[in-house]
Chains A and B, each alone.
Chain A
Amino acid sequence: DAEITQSPRHKITETGRQVTLACHQTWNHNNMFWYRQDLGHGLRLIHYSYGVQDTNKGEVSDGYSVSRSNTEDLPLTLESAASSQTSVYFCASSGRGEQYFGPGTRLTVT
């Protein structure tokens, strides 16, 4: 069965460190998205990609970057982790309709 996976599921890091969260999908979807979920804010879009070599900034992109070298993967990098980036991060992919979400990565920046 097709799926979307995220790793790690939990991560604790220190302020200033570079962190990369992995997202892998086997739906063969062109579109991939990264969100963060925080209390009182719902799901906010960080970055998205419509295909290989395509990346776009979302609503809350500052401090984050993505790269798309193949269809299956869209890693999210925090260049220099900050305490404000403590959150739950969700990756999603879509064809032309609804998005399918991964299980999430809980990131704590201390």
Chain B
Amino acid sequence: DQQVKQNSPSLSVQEGRISILNCDYTNSMFDYFLWYKKYPAEGPTFLISISSIKDKNEDGRFTVFLNKSAKHLSLHIVPSQPGDSAVYFCAASVRGSQGNLIFGKGTKLSVKP
């Protein structure tokens, strides 16, 4: 039973356009959400997070939106660059769980020049 779902295994976007990666969750106890980026042959790196008390968090070209009623979050990358091509993992946790994260299966983003 997947608690964190990334239903799109892959996404292809033109350079300069917006990339939107989606993530759904089922556990209403989740209150902290993160996005990780992973290049081949490297470990995942933290990208951006959002607490459930917010509905938006922005960091440069990256914005995460949280819709608690729909149990849905999305990562927007604007403008997309070829260097953004990677696998993106959505993760969720319950605050107070000492950092235990539940990961989605990932979405492979390809940004074409």
User: B43–A104 contact, CB under 8 A?
Assistant: yes
Q: Does B8 contact A (CB under 8 A)?
A: no
CA distance A35 to B99 in the complex (A): 14
Chain B, residues 97-110, CB within 8 Å of chain A (1/0): the string is: 01111011110000
User: B104–A98 contact, CB under 8 A?
Assistant: no
User: B100–A48 contact, CB under 8 A?
Assistant: yes
User: A98–B34 contact, CB under 8 A?
Assistant: yes
User: A98–B105 contact, CB under 8 A?
Assistant: no
Q: Does B89 contact A (CB under 8 A)?
A: yes
* A interface residues, how many (CB within 8 angstroms): 26
Q: Is the interface of A mostly helix, strand, loop or mixed?
A: strand
User: A43–B98 contact, CB under 8 A?
Assistant: no
User: B99–A99 contact, CB under 8 A?
Assistant: yes
User: A101–B44 contact, CB under 8 A?
Assistant: yes
Residue A42 contacts which of B43, B45, B46, B103 (CB distance < 8 angstroms)?
A: B103
Known contacts A42-B89, A43-B89; A90 and B105 CB within 8 A of each other: no
Chain B, residues 16-57, CB within 8 Å of chain A (1/0): the string is: 000000000000000000101000011111100100000000
A residues in contact (CB < 8 Å) with B: 4, 30-31, 33, 35, 40-45, 48, 50, 90, 92, 94-104
Would you list 26 pairs from A and B whose C-beta atoms are within 8 A, ordered by A residue? Answer: A31-B98, A31-B99, A33-B99, A33-B100, A42-B6, A42-B89, A42-B103, A42-B104, A42-B106, A43-B44, A43-B89, A43-B106, A90-B43, A90-B44, A94-B98, A96-B99, A97-B99, A98-B34, A98-B49, A98-B99, A99-B46, A100-B46, A101-B36, A103-B41, A104-B42, A104-B43
